[in-house]
Amino acid sequence: MSARRDKHDAGRKIRGAAPRRGRGSEAAPARIEGLVFAGHAGGLPKVESTRPRAPLRAGLEAVENWMQAVITNAGGLGDGERSADARRHIDRGAGTIEQVILPSRNQSSRERLQIYANAYFWRLIDILGEEYPTVRQTAGPRQFPRLAVEYLKAHPSRSYSLNFLSVKFPEFVRSGATRLPRREFLADIATVERSMEDVFDAPDVKPLTPKEWKRIPMSAWMSKRLRMTPAMRLLELRYPVNEYISDVREGRKVEFPRKAEQRLIIFRRNFSVWRAPLTPIRFKLLSALQSGATLPEAFAACAALKGFDAEKFTGALKEWFQGWASDGLFCGVE
């Protein structure tokens, strides 16, 4: 591949056994355009239990469902306590939190529960930010948490694994479900960063070795299909985001690129993730092969492109295939 290649070598960020609670916490309530989840007690006056506490007879299922509804409400604890979702499980009016959660010597019931509410949003915002560092940087410190919270409200995690938390994030950014400047540009970046994650974790399938290549008879090439590595994505984008992503990730100061189509390959080699732009014809050829076309079918698809030059194409094929083979893109013939 002749064009500039960009390598992404970071390991998967480890999610430790200690859920992050450090940010936006007690000292500096972070208010994000009307969202008060990291604020203090959800904007409600303290209802510290002056009234006697009636014994709580709620069962485990009710307590858990109630607590989840209260601490995951983006409007804060007060909104959470008043929400139908919480009241369906436990409802003791304005002081429900005080009826379920005990105060400590130093903290009210609400202050204590707030620790879990802060942790919920900030932890997941941080994780989205780690997976989409260029989206985070481009959207900025005000827009990104807002976007992340909107996403988490629409798509709360439903898996034991954080690996699947943000699978729908690019689609969500593109969809217009939330107000967002530079939407298309951000959606393209998100698409690339999502693909990098997918390629990073994809199944490990051994590529064809030069010896195995030589053993394939010429006659086979006309009818068989090349099996492509699962650790590869081909993307068609509306903005040239490839260089932009590298610049941002490497801390260089950059300007937003002008709208211009870009085709990208993202693949894994020796367990590092690489990105490189592709010309329209090479993109067409690889896409055809990836979708299961035989070589003649793939060549025909290329020949249908505007400005196709048969002589140039034939002359370049060998070099292209050698490059792709040494990048480990092919793992079998079937």
For another protein, the binding residues (CB under 8 A) are 10-22, 25-26, 53, 55-61, 63-65, 67-68, 71-72, 99-102, 104-107, 109, 111-113, 115-116, 119-120, 123-124, 156-165, 200-204, 231, 268, 271-272
- The whole-angstrom separation of Cα 220 and Cα 167 is 38
- Rounded to whole angstroms, the Cα distance separating 137 from 182 reads 13
Least distance to another protein, CB of residue 101, Å = 5
Nearer of residues 57 and 253 to another protein, judged by Cβ: 57
- Long-range CB pairs of 132-136, under 8 A, 24+ apart, other chains included: 132/166, 132/169, 132/189, 132/190, 132/193, 132/194, 133/193, 133/248, 133/249, 134/189, 134/192, 134/193, 134/241, 134/244, 134/245, 134/248, 134/249, 135/173, 135/186, 135/189, 135/190, 135/193
Query: To the nearest whole angstrom, how small is the minimum distance from the Cβ of residue 238 to another protein?
Result: 29
Least Å from the CB of residue 51 to another protein: 13
Q: What's the number of CA atoms in the CB half-sphere (13 Å) around residue 135?
A: 32
State the angle between helix axes of 310-326 and 280-290 in degrees (0 to 180), rounded to the nearest 10. 60
Q: How far apart are CA 97 and CA 258, in angstroms?
A: 52
Contacts of 161 (CB under 8 A, 6+ apart): none
Distance in Å, CB of 48 to another protein, minimum: 14
φ, ψ of residue 259 to 5 degrees: the values are: -60, 130
Smallest distance from another protein to CB 7, Å: 12
* Shortest distance (Å) from residue 142 CB to another protein: 24
Of the pair 26, 319, the CB lying nearest another protein is at 26
Smallest distance from the beta carbon of 155 to another protein, in angstroms? 11
Terminal-to-terminal C-alpha distance of the chain: 25
Nearer to another protein, 122 or 330 (CB): 122
Residue type, 269: R
- Region of residue 182 (phi > 0: left; psi between -120 and 50: alpha; otherwise: beta): left
Distance between CA 160 and CA 166 in Å, rounded?
13
| CB 22 to another protein: min, Å | 6
